Structure 1
Amino acid sequence: MEITQARKLLDQFSCTEQKSVETQEQKQELQTAIQDIVKESEWENLGVCAENTQQAIIALKTYLMAFGYVLNQVDFNQVDQLKTPVYIKFSTKQMGFYQDNYTGDYRGVLVSCQAEDDLIAGVYGHLPLDLFEEK
């Protein structure tokens, strides 16, 4: 997918209420679009809002693997195991976490791509927690 096409698709999910992915084809297009943008970025911040830490970490792991990161380089023990809604921010530059309680209704992932190119740089999402999970 060309970057301009990827950006156009991702912009449909940006700064909106959570948009659902209806078909497997839509899911694959969205996966390809965010992966293509991430490939061109210098580094990313991922913000995950989930029902609990376990759900957030599962989503984070699937996104990181889809983006080509090696999970054994990440210390997932840096986060507390909360059973209440949680926000986790992960920086691929520092390979570190920030965690906090979350009181909002949104559940999903925001991907903030850092790059010199304005076509690449930006915040993408609200993306589904399970975008890269195999069903």
Structure 2
Amino acid sequence: MPDHPTAQATEAILIAASDLDPNSLTEPEIVRKALLSLATASDYQIFGVCADSQIQGHLALKAYTKAFGYEVPPTIGKASQNSEHGIYIKFNPRTNLCHEDTYSGKYRGVLVSYQSDFADGHCGTYGHFPLDLFHL
């Protein structure tokens, strides 16, 4: 794999790694590099975290935003730390807004949505990636 893959090749890596069981991700470093590489082809990213608990969700969000070069998100909502169904956190670094709610879906992990203001910028959403892909 070249040091600087094309956006199309990088996107293929992310599509192939999306929604895998976190334990079956065999090359996490390649996925980390692909996520960060594609960020250079977009203007900003929005993060969606599906986790079992508020604490687990906050840790994942902080690790991902730090890896992408964003400030740590502001204090997040008031959801229960131990929801019986899980928690969903959405963070938009451009607006610095964070939303948190209970989540009853089966998926756990992080969605990364690439956003562009220009026609030649990359747009797309990929994931769910492992909550611990970017360890703090």
Scaled to the shorter chain, the TM-score interval is 0.7 to 0.9
Q: 2: distance between equivalents of 1:87 and 1:102? A: 5
SS in 2 for 1:45: strand
Match of 1:12? 16
Q: 1: distance between equivalents of 2:50 and 2:36? A: 20
String of CA shifts for 1:24-77, please: whole Å, max 9, x gaps.
xx1000000000112221121111000011100100000001101122xx31x2
The answer to whether 1:92 aligns with 2:93 is: yes
- Note if contact 2:39-2:45 (Cα within 8 Å) is conserved in structure 1: yes
Q: CA deviation at 1:119?
A: 7.0
Letter in 2 for 1:18: L
Deviation >3 Å, runs of 4+: 17-23, 116-119
Change (3 A) 1:119 1:70: closer
SS in 2 for 1:87: strand
Q: 1:1-135 residue pairs with structure 2 within 5 A?
A: 1-2=4-5, 3-14=7-18, 17-20=19-22, 21-23=24-26, 26-71=27-72, 74-75=73-74, 77-82=75-80, 83-84=82-83, 85-115=86-116, 116-117=118-119, 120-133=122-135
Q: CA deviation at 1:126?
A: 1.4
SS in 1 for 2:40: helix
Change (3 A) 1:55 1:13: same
Q: Which structure's residues are more often helix, by fraction?
A: 1
SS in 2 for 1:12: helix
Provide the alpha-carbon RMSD of the alignment.
Answer: 1.9
Letter in 2 for 1:78: I
TM-score when normalising by structure 2: 0.83
Query: What runs of 5+ residues in structure 2 fail to find an aligned partner?
Result: none
SS in 1 for 2:99: strand
Q: 2: distance between equivalents of 1:119 and 1:12? A: 21
- Note if contact 2:79-2:100 (Cα within 8 Å) is conserved in structure 1: no
Q: Aligned pairs, how many?
A: 127
- Note if contact 1:107-1:128 (Cα within 8 Å) is conserved in structure 2: yes
